[in-house]
Amino acid sequence: MSSNGIRDKVAVVGMGCTSFGEHWERSADDLLIDATQECFAGAPALTAEDVDAYWLGTLGSGQSGLTLSRPLALDHKPVTRVENYCATGSEAFRNACYAVASGAYDRVMAVGVEKLKDSGFSGLLRSDPPGDGTAPELSLTAPAAFSLLDPAYCARYGVDPAAMREAMTHVAWKNHANGARNPKAQFRSVVAKETIERAPLVAGRLGVFDCSGVSDGAACALIVRAEDALRYTDRPMYVKGLSLVAGAVRGAMDPGYDYTTFPEVVHAAADAYRQAGVTDPGTQISLAEVHDCFTPTEVVLMEDLGFAERGQAWKDVLDGAFELDGRLPVNPDGGLKSFGHPVGASGLRMLYECWLQFRGEAGERQLTDPRLGLTHNLGGRPGGCVSFVSVVGPDPG
Amino acid sequence: MTTTLTRSPYGIVSYATYLPRHRVMRDELGTALGVRAGRGARVAASFDEDSTTMGVEAARRLRPAPPAPSSLYFATTSPAYLDKTNACALHAALGLPRDTFAADLAGSARSGIAALRSAGLDGGLAVLSDVRTGRPGSADERDGGDGAAAFLFGAADAAVAEILAHTSATAEFLDRWRTPGSPSGEQWEERFGLERYLPLIEDTAQRALKAAGTGQPDHVLLVSPNAAVRKRAPKVFPARLSASGSPLGYSGAADAGLALADVLDRAGADETILLLSAADGCDALLLRTTDRLPSARQHDSLARQLAEGRPVPYPTYLTWRGWLEREPPRRPEPDRPAGPPSARGEGWKFGFTGSRCESCGFVHLPPARVCKDCGAVDAMAAVPLAGTTGTVATYTVDRLAHSPSPPLIDAVVDFDGGGRCTLEIADTVADELDVGVRVEPVFRRLHTAGGVHNYFWKARTTAGTTARATAGSKASAAADTSEREGTA
């Protein structure tokens, strides 16, 4: 796979992110307005009218660019709606970055929104085209699909299921502890490990606390040419690498696939690292915002992203390697687990944390002098998914 | 009016039966309702089974797999659809050729006889299948049974049983009836029916024996929707070796077929069987087994299937049959399957046929046009896998999923000879599953949405696996089934 990359060609000069949670009083329109208003407030040199083009990511809270242009009263702007499962927000960002890098536009905005709590159901709802009723994902829920990672990982690496349970619990505990330090997170309390382990079962060994928060929220980013960045902010965030990979959904049909890895993530990470010049992610990346949709996912991702050796991530997790004061803080903002997962907004929310950390605005969870940040999404399930990886940093070059 | 048919050019060349795995324990039923329900167990179709799926399972067990029959007759009193021919789903699941005639004979117990008679006339396949439901506490509920039987007719010189005679008597009187749409049937005072039936039974039996020129039959079978008639089964007509009734209690249109299969399981060569079905008249079918029978019996005898099985809690059974409306899962109901994609995917959805890349051998489930391994385009051969066993690669219990009987269990199955597919697990509780457990595909109804039944294949543990897994006490089996009902 080849991609030329756009390292340091574009920069983020403003971001906005609503709090995530059960916003019974706020519509998707409200969330879009609130996120973009925060963004413009932080980049006073720009107004909505100054932005040349918009990309809107939403899984199911609206269709077409009108979902954004209508509430923001944007007149005659190019507004593109994108959808790519749980990588939707990241996909809006990626396309917006490429639009600037191509020279087509100088100032663009990527916005992501999801209003999940109006459905009356917990968990994600599917919206499938008419079909023959045979696809397993029509019945098997996401937590069940991801729960397959846990026994497979134990079997492959000879990990005691009790130790794996402990590692999964540790992921949930860590991300809740991080979220407790984040005023915008959906869940803001430290959760005892005992509570996590005793939660009602959802699927396989996954309990309620092994699953990410279902929430409403929106987030956005203003993207300009790197050479223009300092006109809008004194501390821009530069895009080093962007990768998106869609799998052939081969694992679901291939007896050779063992449910202990996401090959799509491995490929997306390799591509993004190459673009960004990252050769040793474990030491070069200062913080990572990864797609912790379910706790075993985060364990496996540590290996797929090159943060841990194969078969060792569970140990590194238990050793605290990915805590705020660990060797590579993962999901310092609380992750999908406690910040919440409004699908279309999540990818941009991850970038928002990098933005805050690089600017020294992460409050109680501020890391010391972060140099490179990674964000990662995946959409789909083990056996077939889309995966996104970005590398961003506070400095060009 | 009476008719007599003799010496058909066709005989039964193969037969097979299918009984669901679940059993309602009559003592539990009695305790729950505060009535005397007797002992033993009632065979109960699972929530994902209906007359169509059980019919498919019975016909799939025919060995050797039938050469294309000229026709398929499907008999039931519990059709899954009206206005749409249920036999078409069987036709598709069995992979029969396009030019095979397929029709339903639906409505009454006599439909089963009609299927046997029709298939016997043209060398066809008769599939008799029924889910018998009755109000809680009713005789139909307590003494009924669910199951299916399939009989393939072919040239008499290849038969395991020849048809010597078939006589009928038709009479209009009110004994058993049910209005369309009603879930439970009615019964006039049993003794009225009994008095009506006895002379009809005698008449048809004598005429059959006379037409065939045989003496006292070796085996006599008497089945009937009328319970008083059924009680007379052992003595209503003299037999040389055995006289019996339905092995399940009363199983509707499948009853005559299940009784016949049961006797074929144990009869010797060159023995006569007089099958008497007293339903809205009486039909007598006189057969003679051939020396091919002992080596061509169905693989899994009815008696053995009957002896197997696991208890299903009575409240669960009531829920399956719709008598008890439970709180639904807090998930949206699934969409109904769409007509055009279901038709385009007939081979996959009904026949469980995938594709194998002719360039590299990679098996695709569902079938694909572009090979996921080597990228070859439109170089695929069809791979029917319904008869292939597989191994559980991994599995999970999904307590969130929408299921008519939660929790839903899904397994990733690797099929012998290649091919992987994620399938729902049927008739099996999580305790019996493990990585490496052997499973086989079974045809089931995943759910019904918008009035459309979503037929597809599930996997269930093979018979051997189950025997090991259920070797424990009844108590542990009961605990297993209650686990399935667990609401975490």
How does pLDDT run across B164-189, given as a tens digit for each residue? 999 999 999 999 999 998 989 999 99
Query: Touching check for A253 and chain B: CB below 8 Å?
Result: yes
Q: Which has the closest alpha carbon to B77: B223, B280, B253?
A: B253
Give me the residue spans of the domains in chain B.
Answer: 2-320, 339-350+386-484, 352-385
Q: Which residues of B touch A252 (CB under 8 A)?
A: 412, 420-422
Confidence of residue B464 (pLDDT cuts 50, 70, 90): low
pLDDT for res B477: 33
- CB–CB of B419 and A121 under 8 A? no
In a domain, A155, yes or no: yes
- CB–CB of A134 and B345 under 8 A? yes
Question: For B160, what's the count of Cα atoms within 13 Å in the CB-facing half-sphere?
Answer: 25
Query: Touching check for B403 and chain A: CB below 8 Å?
Result: yes
- CB–CB of B488 and A147 under 8 A? no
Residue B451 distance to chain A (closest CA, Å) = 14
Q: Are residues A52 and A164 in the same domain?
A: no
When pLDDT is averaged across residues B463-475 and rounded to a whole number, the result is: 45
Q: Residue A152 is nearest to which of B341, B348, B394, comparing CB atoms?
A: B394
Burial A202-241 (b: 16+ CB within 10 A, else e): bbbbbbbbbbbbbbbbbbbbbbbbbeebeebbeebbbbbb
Contact B212, B218 (CB under 8 A): no
Question: Which one-letter DSSP state was computed for residue A59?
Answer: S
* A45-49, A325-329, B94-98, B431-435: least confident range: B431-435
Residue B430 distance to chain A (closest CA, Å) = 10
pLDDT above 70: residue A259 = yes
When pLDDT is averaged across residues B321-330 and rounded to a whole number, the result is: 89
Q: Which residues contact B346 (CB under 8 A, 6 or more apart)?
A: B92
Confidence of residue B485 (pLDDT cuts 50, 70, 90): very low
Residue B446 distance to chain A (closest CA, Å) = 9
Query: Touching check for A202 and chain B: CB below 8 Å?
Result: yes
Test mutation, B420, B433, B447, chain A, max A CBs within 10 A = B420
A201, closest residue in chain B (CA to CA): B488
Q: Are residues A250 and A360 in the same domain?
A: yes
**A76 catalytic residue (yes or no):** no
Number of other CB atoms surrounding residue B330 within 10 Å: 11
In a domain, A2, yes or no: no
Test mutation, A116, A122, A125, A139, chain B, max B CBs within 10 A = A139
In angstroms, rounded to a whole number, what is the distance separating the alpha carbons of residues B133 and B146? 9
Contact B316, B483 (CB under 8 A): no
Contact B20, B43 (CB under 8 A): yes
**Amino acid found at B132:** R
**pLDDT tens sequence across B7-60:** 678 999 999 999 999 999 999 999 999 999 999 999 999 999 999 999 999 999
Q: Are residues A100 and A207 in the same domain?
A: no
Tokens of B34: 């505060």
- CB–CB of A132 and B364 under 8 A? no
pLDDT for res A168: 98
When pLDDT is averaged across residues A51-64 and rounded to a whole number, the result is: 97
Contact B73, B114 (CB under 8 A): yes
In a domain, A3, yes or no: no
Tokens of B191: 């003794």
What is the tally of structural domains in chain A? 2
Residues 169-188 of B with CB under 8 A from A: none
Is ipTM > 0.90 here?
A: yes
CA distances from B4 to A84, B210, B238 (A): 69, 10, 21
pLDDT above 90: residue A319 = yes
Residue B206 distance to chain A (closest CA, Å) = 53
Q: Helices A295-304 and A161-179 sit at what angle, rounded to 10 degrees?
A: 100
In angstroms, rounded to a whole number, what is the distance separating the alpha carbons of residues B94 and B42? 28
Q: Are residues A94 and A20 in the same domain?
A: yes
Q: Which residues of A touch B403 (CB under 8 A)?
A: 139
pLDDT above 60: residue B483 = no
Burial class of residue A369, CB neighbours in 10 A (0-12, 13-18, 19+) = exposed
Query: Touching check for A125 and chain B: CB below 8 Å?
Result: yes
Query: Touching check for B412 and chain A: CB below 8 Å?
Result: yes
In a domain, A4, yes or no: no
Q: Are residues A66 and A161 in the same domain?
A: no
The DSSP string of B273-307 is: EEEEE-SSEEEEEEEEE-TTGGGSS-SS-HHHHHH
Chain pair A-B, CB pairs under 8 angstroms? 135
Q: Are residues A154 and A39 in the same domain?
A: no
Q: Which residues of B touch A128 (CB under 8 A)?
A: 335
Q: Which has the closest alpha carbon to B445: B300, B319, B337?
A: B337
Contact B148, B57 (CB under 8 A): yes
**Residue span of the structural domain in which A29 resides:** 10-120+216-236
CA distances from B150 to B85, B259, B278, B461 (A): 18, 12, 20, 23
Confidence of residue B6 (pLDDT cuts 50, 70, 90): low
Residues 136-165 of A with CB under 8 A from B: 136, 138-141, 143-145, 147-148, 151-152, 155
Query: Touching check for B3 and chain A: CB below 8 Å?
Result: no
Q: Which has the closest alpha carbon to A113: A50, A175, A71, A172?
A: A71
Please measure the distance between the N-terminal and C-terminal CA atoms of chain A and give it in whole angstroms.
24
pLDDT for res B5: 53
pLDDT above 80: residue B484 = no
Test mutation, B394, B409, B416, chain A, max A CBs within 10 A = B394
pLDDT for res A139: 86
**A86 catalytic residue (yes or no):** yes
pLDDT above 80: residue A255 = yes
- CB–CB of B423 and A136 under 8 A? yes
- CB–CB of A252 and B364 under 8 A? no
In angstroms, rounded to a whole number, what is the distance separating the alpha carbons of residues A222 and A201? 41
- Report the DSSP beta bridge partners of residue A390: A242, A375
Residue B106 distance to chain A (closest CA, Å) = 27
Better-scored residue on pLDDT, B48 or B65: B48
pLDDT for res A125: 80
What is the dotted CATH code of the domain comprising B339-350+386-484?
2.40.50.840
pLDDT above 80: residue B479 = no
pLDDT for res A24: 97
- CB–CB of A259 and B331 under 8 A? no
CATH of the domain at A104: 3.40.47.10
pLDDT for res B4: 52
Q: Are residues A293 and A221 in the same domain?
A: no
In a domain, A33, yes or no: yes
In angstroms, rounded to a whole number, what is the distance separating the alpha carbons of residues B349 and B476? 35
CA distances from A28 to A64, A126, A345, B196 (A): 14, 18, 11, 73
Our CA dihedral for B325, B327, B333, B334, rounded to 10 degrees, sits at -80
pLDDT for res B328: 82
- CB–CB of A140 and B410 under 8 A? yes
When pLDDT is averaged across residues B207-212 and rounded to a whole number, the result is: 96
In angstroms, rounded to a whole number, what is the distance separating the alpha carbons of residues A113 and A341? 10
**pLDDT tens sequence across A168-203:** 999 999 999 999 999 999 999 999 999 999 999 999
Give the containing element (helix H, strand E) for B212: helix B190-212
Q: Are residues A225 and A254 in the same domain?
A: no
In a domain, A1, yes or no: no
B430, closest residue in chain A (CA to CA): A204
Confidence of residue B466 (pLDDT cuts 50, 70, 90): very low
Query: Touching check for A248 and chain B: CB below 8 Å?
Result: yes
A119, closest residue in chain B (CA to CA): B332
Q: Which has the closest alpha carbon to A355: A192, A259, A237?
A: A237
Q: Residue A136 is nearest to which of B364, B400, B410, comparing CB atoms?
A: B410
A170, A176, A267, A341: which is the annotated catalytic residue? Answer: A341
Contact B272, B219 (CB under 8 A): yes
Test mutation, A122, A125, A127, A132, chain B, max B CBs within 10 A = A132
In angstroms, rounded to a whole number, what is the distance separating the alpha carbons of residues A386 and A378? 5
In angstroms, rounded to a whole number, what is the distance separating the alpha carbons of residues B154 and B163? 11
Contact A64, A90 (CB under 8 A): no
**pLDDT tens sequence across A98-144:** 999 999 999 999 999 999 999 988 777 888 899 999 998 888 999 99
Q: Which residues contact A199 (CB under 8 A, 6 or more apart)?
A: A207, A208, A209, A210
Q: Which residues of A touch B424 (CB under 8 A)?
A: 136, 139-140
pLDDT for res B314: 97
Q: Residue A122 is nearest to which of B330, B373, B401, comparing CB atoms?
A: B330
The model's pTM is 0.94
Contact A271, A3 (CB under 8 A): yes
pLDDT above 50: residue A390 = yes
Query: Touching check for A127 and chain B: CB below 8 Å?
Result: no
- Report the DSSP beta bridge partners of residue A113: A218
pLDDT above 70: residue B71 = yes
CATH class of the region B2-320? alpha beta
Q: Residue B335 is nearest to which of A128, A141, A152, comparing CB atoms?
A: A128
Confidence of residue A157 (pLDDT cuts 50, 70, 90): very high
Tokens of A354: 């990098």
pLDDT above 60: residue B118 = yes
Q: Residue A248 is nearest to which of B372, B410, B488, comparing CB atoms?
A: B372
Q: Which residues of A touch B419 (CB under 8 A)?
A: 253, 255
A17, A39, A86, A385: which is the annotated catalytic residue? Answer: A86
Q: Are residues A92 and A206 in the same domain?
A: no
Query: Touching check for A204 and chain B: CB below 8 Å?
Result: yes
When pLDDT is averaged across residues B299-309 and rounded to a whole number, the result is: 95
* A208-217, A295-304, B477-486: least confident range: B477-486
In a domain, A264, yes or no: yes
Q: Are residues A25 and A109 in the same domain?
A: yes
Q: Residue B446 is nearest to which of A133, A201, A252, comparing CB atoms?
A: A133
pLDDT for res B333: 84
**Amino acid found at A3:** S
Mean pLDDT of chain B: 91
pLDDT above 80: residue A312 = yes
Query: Touching check for A203 and chain B: CB below 8 Å?
Result: yes
Residue B420 distance to chain A (closest CA, Å) = 5
- CB–CB of B424 and A136 under 8 A? yes
**In the block, which residue shows the tokens 């695709």?**
B364
Q: Are residues A232 and A243 in the same domain?
A: no
- Report the DSSP beta bridge partners of residue A387: A245, A378
Q: Are residues A354 and A232 in the same domain?
A: no
In angstroms, rounded to a whole number, what is the distance separating the alpha carbons of residues A201 and A338? 18
When pLDDT is averaged across residues B378-407 and rounded to a whole number, the result is: 94
Contact B15, B267 (CB under 8 A): no
Test mutation, A206, A211, A253, chain B, max B CBs within 10 A = A253
In a domain, A128, yes or no: no
Tokens of B183: 């879930």
Residue A242 zone, left/alpha/beta (φ > 0; ψ -120 to 50; rest)? beta
